[in-house]
Structure 1
Amino acid sequence: FTAKFSADQTRMIIQPNQQLLYDTSYLVTIRSSARDLVGNELRGDVERQFMTRTIYARGLKIRVAKLIPQVVDPPEALTGAGGGRNEVLRLRSDVSVEYITPGVCSTLKMMVAANPSGLDLDLRVTGDRGQGLCRARGISGSDEWIPLECSVKDQNTFKLIATGGTGIVRLSDAVLECSSGARQSRCFFDSDMPESFRVHDKIIFGAKCYNYEGDLIPASMYVFTVKLIHCQTICHSHVELVRERSDYGQYTVPDHGDFFFVEIDLGMRDSRNVIIASTQIRPQTVTVRVTTKPPGIKVAVDSLSGLSPLKSIVVVGSNFTVNVPTRSYGGGFR
């Protein structure tokens, strides 16, 4: 999962990196080593448990023929076809075809047959981790069309695999049952983007977006917005960079003072500023501690002020300012 904080730093939003399983109990734990902006740790681990429940996704039927195959192995072993039964795909034996599931979907239904000379063919449908979702065995040209139905709940991808004897597996009326909002674009940030930064680091970012059919959206439609979110007791954001018509970009982290982090939003040029995907990159930090003799004197580190001893978290590589009274009972600071 990815943890994201609200602009005022009062809420942490946990975003799963993949769909959660249905009817499953999950436990979220924040360890006591977690620190706030001034370096205070939790008194103990914080745990929250929640349970997902099954909601049958329906309201929109999407034909598999509309989806763009992401992987075809071998490439020449998949063809489209016509025919009286709305036939959409022909798969030769020993071929696999992978698709991106177009949103939240519940079932995949199809009719399966073989070409007239086909003999003893199998068709398997597998999920994200290669687990079997459904299977039709011993398909031959002399057979009638066979109905096949699979559950594709919580699957980000699914794969059609034809194996067995000789001939061609024919798929007709292949339809996904999905939720009404399933025709949405999906964007994925590059996996090699940095997880943290120091001041003056160069962050290289990139992403790929697909429409609900699985077709790659041209980079000319992308709009990246890089924001620097500056926090101490109150947070506010600055738009640092807007990059359009490209699927990558770079941003050099400035020395901004105080605690801050970087947020990168990605939208489409024709989507009226709707953000499709967002990611945060957090800084590497150190704790600055200001003490005085005697203690209890008001001091400040950049915009954070309080009575000494005072702790503040600053970004590695940044310059910061310590402010103390010019005269403090003949004492000093260190």
Structure 2
Amino acid sequence: MLTFEKQGYWSVTETVNVGDNTSVSVEMYPSSASFKLENFPANISIPENTIYTLTFTLSPIQTSATYNTYLSLSGLSGVLEVRKDGSLVSPENGKYYLGDISSPVQVSIKFKAGSVGTHGFTITLTSNDAIMSKTYTTTKQVVYKVEPLPFSVQMPSEWQVGTNELRISESSGQSYLITAVLKDSQGNEVWSDSYAFSPYEAHTFTVNVPSEGSYTLELQWNGRTAVYDITVNPAITLKTKTLTVSEGSEGVITLHFKNPSSDVQYYTIKLSGGFLPAEINQSISVGPLTEKDVSIAFAVPEKLTYDAYELNVQVLQGNATVFSDRVAVSISDSSSFSLFGGGSSGGKTLYYGLAALVGLGLFVAILRRR
């Protein structure tokens, strides 16, 4: 049995059977590190925008140095999850707690590849001895190459509620099936379609987006998945959230319409509720690739019971409601005191009384001068 020692490294003990042409090969690790990263892939190549899972074995060099282990990643964006022996590890302030490790464990890191090119990131493992008196650090540089997809993807310049065209062109000279899946922010599938591509064939998918918000578009082929984040901005916004009017006056609310499509869009605006005696309807159209403000006027009754009301705003496209919101309308106080005129009889009486007193004072002054 031979023990190999070197300053700054963990000692290694090997059992040697002595014989002819006996040779011994040992691998020594710095004493500042506590783990070996084994079964690590030599060359990592990932198609762009796809999900990749990096899996390796984490083996203790010395079990006395692998307590309270944390894993951290630097230089890697789009991390989806980290697992230890298949169990999900939740991040804690950007780090992943792996606990005390006394035997080899499997670690997997799932992330989304970015743009085409060569990329890299650093895996750092920190651990302690049993009495937490010393910290050990193990680092591993990871280099991976992102390759172009075997097909080209043409997306809308701006996604909209309703139909959108997604064009895919096969560019590798192969035949395969591509399935396109649209998921909402909760991961629920809201649309999907498939197409069998021949070499160099192009096909246009018609993607139906149910409402504005954040979505994920997945393109699945040959066991791989390319993922794209999509934001559908609202085509309609209410610019007038609050409004102050007076009794017997007129109010105006304004909506903003945006049409990123190449077709004319037709809408019906409905205003109801509150003090309105009947629903107000207004039909409009928005030209292709344009946006505009639309204002709706309404009359305020002379006498109202409350000093605040809510009006319902609804926008229909055909028979479907595509937008709804509320406007808070405050009624200004027209009965407040006004020295020089006012809306109330009490204010006017006070005004006339003051005028009479002023007139009487002038009359008395004139008599005194005589």
Q: Same fold (TM over 0.5)?
A: no
Greater helix content: 2
Which is higher, the Rg of structure 1 or of structure 2? 2
TM-score (norm 1): 0.30
Which structure has more relative contact order (CA 8 Å, sep 6+)? It is 1
